[in-house]
Structure formats: C-alpha cells, structure tokens
Structure 1
C-alpha cells in the first residue's frame, strides 16, 4: 500500500508540471503539462526502467538520495518532500538554513494566547526568546513586559532575574531542567545560539556550572509550583504545543491544577491589572 501510494504520488506530480518551467518543449500544440517518465528519470539520474517500477509500486527500495533528486525534479514543496520521505521510512528533510525568527509572535498566534484568558501562556522562538504572551502570564511574571528585547529570553530571565528565582520555590531543580531541555532542543543549531550561551556564562555562575555538565532532557508536561508575592502559591500544569504552520515556535501554557485555589488566585491577579 505504501509503495503504491508513493508511485501514485510521483505520477500525479509528474503529470501536473508545466514543461515550460523546466525548459522543455510542448508535448503537442495543445499540451504544455506533464513530464514523460523518461524525462523525470533523466533529470533525476535514474534509469527509465527503475523509475517506471517506482511509479508502478513494485517491490523496490529507493534511497534517500534518489528521493531527494526526484523531489527536486518534480519541484515538490517542503511538505510534499517530507511526505515522500515518510512513505519510504525516512525522516523529514532539515532546512539548509533555518529562517530567522520574528521579534513578535504572528498575529494569529498572539490571538490564541490572548484567548487563553485565565491561563498564563507565552510563545518561545528556537533560541527561547519570548516573542508573545498573554495578560495572565504578565500577571504571573510582570517583568516580561518591562525587560528589553535583548533580555526577554526565558533562559536569561531564569538565571538572571531575582524575581524569577523568588517565584520558583524549586529554582535549583527547575533552572537546571530548563537548561537541559534547551540544550536538547538546540541540537545542531547550538552554534547559532552561542551569543546567548556566552552571555549567560559570564552573567551566571549557576548557568556556567550547569552548562559544563552537558545534561540533556526532553520536555514533559508536569505540575509546577510558583510562589507569587501577592497571592501566594499557584499550582499549575506546564504544557507545550507546536503550531503546525509555525513549527519553530513553542507555545507554553500553564493550566490551574484542579482542587487547588490556583484558578481563583489567578483571577484575583488579573483584576488588579
């Protein structure tokens, strides 16, 4: 079934291409659409027989290199390319260069954050820059709207802002867990974020010590405890979502733990704003 779907997909894309876009002559006076199998095979560096078998769903196993070549020939989008690779059992292609993130969240993402009226929520860029937040998060952490754009980075704030240290009763544990999660997510892009690591190494001894440990940890939803100076303890579940149309962003949402006075205390905070 998977091989047949792969073959059908390539056939469908082959027949939709505009020959003029590839510098090829018309098939006839009335037809400018579609490539012949032999043309796709030649442009992709494979034999006509092999490509024919691929479209027919035969029992062959194309390599990732060949699939990448076919994706280029057939002008596949990044989503289509990832789909083809998934059918063949390969992971999605990595972009040659990740796009730079915007200083603010896209409008529709900000509207989503605002819709979570009673639940603190914010958006993180790949380097953990805070690019959007709602009123509930500003009530939980008022400094988010006060710090400079340069300093509005979650890792920077956790390790350098005394307010955050007081807000987190388990700061020692949470700060190092954040550091391990950041390192795991940065992965191959770690070199891009060297400016942040350098700043933190100079500004925070705790960060420098933790960074040298090379701890790696994946994110898991979990219960968190915050101690707010105005309303006391807040027990919140910590969740993260990824928008399908902006996979570089992470939406962090804190929901009140049921059976605790957290929701009522958050409501009180919001009325004071």
Structure 2
C-alpha cells in the first residue's frame, strides 16, 4: 500500500480498537455521560502518556513520527494482543520501497510439503501464499470444499472464493464466522507487506463487488493463527465438524498451511472417508 493508504489503515484500526475497548477493563469508570461504550481519545492519550493532540493526529492518519516506545504504550492502552500489536507496528512504520509486488504466477511448492499434503488423508488442507492464492491442496480438500484444479489460477484466491462460490457460502453453517478467521490472517499480511499495492487493488475490488466484505473487514480482527471450530453442512456427507489450524511455513515463500482436523467426538472422519470412497468409485 502507498503511504496514504497505510495511514488510512492505521487510522481505521486505532479507531476501531478504541471503540471496542471497555473503560472498566483499563481501570476507568463507565459513567452515565458516555455516548459510546469505548474509550475517548483523551483517555487513550492519558493511558499512553502522550498528549491528546498528538494522539488525535495519529488516529486521524497524519504523517507524524512515532517511536517504538510510544507505540508500545498505545498498544497497552488499547489492550492489543500480540498479533494486533505487530499489526500496529507494521502500519506505523514508513513504507519500505524495497518491498516490491512479485510477479503473480503459480508457485511450485516443495516436494516435502506435497508429501505432507498427501499424508493428511482425512484432514482437508490448503496451502496459500501471502496473497491467499491457493497454491496447493490435498484430495480431502477437493472433496469437502472444491476441486481447485477446475478453477483458473487467476481466480483461485481463497478470500475471493469464499464470497463468490455458492458451494462455500452454503457449506459453513456460520459463514461469517468461517470467513472472519481467514480475514484475520489476511489482515496480518496486509499490514506486513505495506509496500505491496496488490492488497489495495484487491480490497477495492472486494469492497465494490461484495458489500458484506466491507462490513466484515471493518471489524479489524487480526490473528496470525486463529482457533476456529467450524460446522459444515456438506451436500453429500451432511453435518461435519472441523477444527481449523493455520500454520505459517518457514521459508522465503511465505506460505501458509490451513488444516481442517475432524473433531474427535463426531462422526466427521467416518463421513469423510465414506465420501471420498464414493466419489472415487
């Protein structure tokens, strides 16, 4: 994102987190005169040990210098978790001109990773890159979600597919909960790659084409590895319960592995085996 986009993202994030911070949780009285449940700007400034004017400028997205110690104080004042703190620091940093947008083409994942995919026979698994392009998947994922090889590479973006494919919209019992987990991860990459203009073009596209995307995105959830339990109503297998584990793969390609493990106290694994066997006949 360019510098102005970065500052606008920082402004939106700070405001959202301030609005969602409970005054009582930071030792302040709620009071009957409060118009909103969150904190006032002057209260954040007081808790962070900075002037109200300076914090107002920061939240308004003005291009001002910010030290690491002040950012740490703001993070504590807003009770940010580790992932949100990292996101704050990423957005507050100046854009690194060396961060270039890579050529957008399919990535060849390492043979060892392909081996892992094939071994996870009853755990639907997808590999995505930093733009959430799906670069790898296993047989179980093709049976539960989509046969991704039938989707052209340029359309094989996981975030986009969650909003455009009716199969995925109808699959999750709580579709919004399903989507929010991935958007929280996506926001981590959005903040980290502040020099990559691809993200702004993608967000503009999604906001224009899918109004519900904007509402979910504005919640500003941030998590590098959210714990998500999701219930699917599969058209052929019926009710299925999975725990999603999302892992960042070490290396220079910035890949991510999202594994859906069948819940132990359910018949999900049996249903998945039956589904795969039937479809392969």
Alignment TM class, shorter chain as reference = 0.5 to 0.7
Looking at structure 2, the residues matched to 133 and 179 of structure 1 have their Cα atoms a distance apart, in angstroms, of 19
TM-aligned CA deviation for residue 135 of structure 1: 0.4
| Aligned match for 1:126, one of 126, 130, 134 | 130
Where does residue 112 of structure 1 map in the other structure?
116
**3-state SS in 1 of match to 2:230:** strand
Aligned with residue 156 of structure 2, among 149, 152, 173: 152
SS at structure 2 position matched to 1:219: coil
Residue aligning to 2:268: 262
Matching residue within 213, 220, 228 for 2:234: 228
Is 1:121–1:133's contact at 8 Å kept on the other side of the alignment?
Answer: yes
Q: Does 1:97 align with 2:95?
A: no
Residue 202 (structure 1) aligned with residue 208 (structure 2)? yes
Contact 1:105 1:123 in 2 (8 A): no
Q: CA deviation at 1:165?
A: 0.7
CA-CA distance at 1:243 after TM superposition: 2.6
Q: Which residue number corresponds to residue 258 of structure 2?
A: 252
Identify which range, 227-236 or 242-251, moves more after superposition.
242-251
- Aligned CA RMSD, in angstroms, stands at 2.4
| TM-score, normalising length: structure 1 | 0.59
Q: Evaluate the alpha carbon distance shift between residue 265 and residue 212 of structure 1 in structure 2; reply closer, same or farther with a 3 A threshold.
A: same
Provide closer, same or farther for how the CA distance between residues 225 and 241 of structure 1 changes in structure 2, counting only shifts above 3 A: same
Contact 2:99 2:193 in 1 (8 A): no
SS at match of 1:150: helix
C-alpha distance in 2, partners of 1:95/1:241? Answer: 28
Q: Does 1:176 align with 2:143?
A: no
Q: After superposition, what is the alpha-carbon deviation per residue over 1:94-120, rounded to whole angstroms, capped at 9, x for unaligned? A: 994368376134132222211212211
Tell me, what secondary structure is at the counterpart of 1:157?
helix
Q: Which of 188, 192, 201 matches 2:198? A: 192
Aligned residues: 180
- Taking structure 1 as reference, are residues 237 and 244 closer, same or farther at Cα in structure 2, changes over 3 Å only? same
Structure ID, larger Rg: 1
Report the alpha carbon displacement of residue 161 of structure 1 after superposing the two structures with TM.
1.1
TM-score, with length taken from structure 2: 0.58
Counterpart check, 1:167 vs 2:161: no
- Structure 1 gap ranges (5+): 1-93
Report runs of 4+ in structure 1 exceeding 6 Å deviation. none
Matches within 5 A, 1:21-170: 96-97=98-99, 100=102, 103-108=106-111, 109-170=113-174
Structure 2 portions without partners, runs of 5+: 1-95
Does the 8 A contact of 2:125 with 2:259 survive in 1?
yes
